[in-house]
Structure 1
Amino acid sequence: MNRNYLSIKTIVAIGIGAALFMILAKFASIPSPIPNTSIQTSYAFLALMAAVFGPIAGGLIGFIGHALNDAISYGSVWWSWVIVSLFVGATIGLFAKRINIEAGGFTVKKVITFNVIQAVAQGIGWFLIAPALDILIYAEPANKVFAQGVFAGLSNIVTVGVLGTILLFAYAKTRSQSNSLHKEL
């Protein structure tokens, strides 16, 4: 019987990652002129965790961390945006094998690949899914939710593009490159 279970390491990463996502969302965000929208550093951390631990961990860290932050900060959870955090984390994690951060080295090609992946994931999530769910679930006005979604998406793309790239570069430096060991003769 071959069952794929989450490793203890991944489960711990989900718990710690969700807590850190929540803390970053609550205390390391920058207010914006758009109502109920801020510039979030938590998505750079989410991108790192998704790249290292994969789509299940990335999705759950985004989902749990965002839901906890909403519950603590606002007293209720804004599910449309929580779902987008799940989507962004899972999507980045799903394509993480293309950058293979565990192999060490974060080349220019990997940086570009990572940023294309994260920009597309966030664009779909914030420009389309979040506003559509806001309209369907909460009957919010379209002009308001599309303005919020576009601002959140663009700011997250830039934040992950800068901070996420730095985090992944630093993490890659801690990994051994597969061809770094040579046999001495």
Structure 2
Amino acid sequence: MELSIKTIVAIGIGSALFVILGRFGSIPTGIPNTNIETAYALLALMALVYGPAAGLLIGLIGHTLKDAIFYGSPWFSWVIASAVVGLLIGLAAKNIRIGEGEFGKSEIFRFNLFQVIANAAAWFVVAPVLDILIYAEPTDKVFVQGLVAGIANIVTVAVLGTLIAIAYAKTRTKTGSLSKEG
């Protein structure tokens, strides 16, 4: 896997923004250690624009740094879940041409279908199962946390992620919109 300089820079910036949003764009849910995180809207956009490797690495690096800085050490089951979200949304990016200025109703529907699948896989399955396997956490606790985190992330990406993706697409030149004057 070879990454372009542009993608490497995007990974660095995306990871830093994930940390900042994880600190200042986080709303407690009332469930211990489970917040509504605006960082996942950014992760979704970066994965759409830069692809699966960038999505995976932004989720992995950003979440690791956020946990290390604000909690003292990373909680790897959730770090891996964040990486899974970025990877899966990035894989879906091949079917969504946001970089070409295309993000209409069809793309919005597909983006949200993919992000729901990605968040559900990560938070309803990966995070709770790894919490049990890595940390021997109580089953009922981790599945409640995963359910709340998953629903929160699905809604956050559906609303905020869709809005920033629409705004981003409007900054791109649509394919075939320029013509050669003769």
Query: For this structure pair, what is the TM-score category when the shorter chain's length is used for normalisation?
Result: over 0.9
User: Residue 96 of structure 2 contacts residue 102 of structure 2 at CA under 8 Å; is this kept in 1?
Assistant: no
Deviations, residues 71-118 of structure 1 (Å, cap 9, x unaligned): 111101100000000010011011101111111131100000000000
The amino acid across from 1:20 in the alignment is: L
- Of 141, 146, 149, 1:144 maps to 141
- Of 24, 27, 30, 2:24 maps to 27
Fraction of identical pairs, as percent:
62
- After the TM superposition, which segments of 4 or more aligned residues of structure 1 sit over 4 Å from their partners? none
- Of 71, 86, 92, 1:89 maps to 86
- CA distance in 2: counterparts of 1:12 and 1:97, whole angstroms: 21
Kindly state the Cα deviation for residue 184 of structure 1 after the two structures are TM-superposed.
4.0
User: 2:76 — aligned with what?
Assistant: 79
User: 2:67 — aligned with what?
Assistant: 70
The amino acid across from 2:44 in the alignment is: A
User: 1:180 — aligned with what?
Assistant: 177
- CA distance in 1: counterparts of 2:53 and 2:11, whole angstroms: 9
Kindly state the Cα deviation for residue 32 of structure 1 after the two structures are TM-superposed.
1.0
TM-score (norm 2): 0.97
- CA distance in 1: counterparts of 2:105 and 2:140, whole angstroms: 38
Structure 1, gaps ≥5 residues long = none
Deviations, residues 139-183 of structure 1 (Å, cap 9, x unaligned): 100110000000000000000000000111001001111121134
TM-score (norm 1): 0.96
The amino acid across from 1:36 in the alignment is: N
Matched, 1:165 2:162: yes
SS in 1 for 2:36: strand
User: Residue 43 of structure 2 contacts residue 55 of structure 2 at CA under 8 Å; is this kept in 1?
Assistant: yes
Matched, 1:6 2:3: yes
Over aligned residue pairs, what C-alpha RMSD do you find? 0.9
Structure 2, gaps ≥5 residues long = none
User: 2:122 — aligned with what?
Assistant: 125
